[in-house]
Amino acid sequence: RKEVEQDPGPFNVPEGATVAFNCTYSNSASQSFFWYRQDCRKEPKLLMSVYSSGNEDGRFTAQLNRASQYISLLIRDSKLSDSATYLCGCITGFQKLVFGTGTRLLVSP
């Protein structure tokens, strides 16, 4: 079983829509969680860390459910510039940052 799993998508949404991605992790000892954004042929950029209490940054909200071992990312009022691949990352034992397959988002006019 993969350590981190995501629906690869693509998710096709119109501008202004709200879209949510989920990610599950297999190692209950995973310590920290992140959402990264990756544009085509570029390196990942940190979007936000995910805290147990949930956290929000502008249009983006991240949630962590340790009991069910999943992480979510909610994007409100989608912009064309939000089109990208969103990677869920977990820090496992030995401080390794591992990623899911990424979820591709396409926002259309």
93 binds other proteins (CB under 8 A): no
Distances (CA, A) of 38 to 2, 66, 94, 107: 20, 25, 24, 15
In the complex, least distance from residue 31 CB atom to other proteins, rounded to whole angstroms: 10
In the complex, least distance from residue 67 CB atom to other proteins, rounded to whole angstroms: 25
In the complex, least distance from residue 49 CB atom to other proteins, rounded to whole angstroms: 9
42 binds other proteins (CB under 8 A): yes
Whole-number Å distance between alpha carbons of 67 and 56: 21
101 binds other proteins (CB under 8 A): yes
Cβ count within 10 A of residue 3: 15
Cis peptide bond N-terminal to 10, omega within 30: yes
96 binds other proteins (CB under 8 A): yes
Residues found near other proteins in the complex (CB under 8 A): 34, 41-46, 87, 94-102
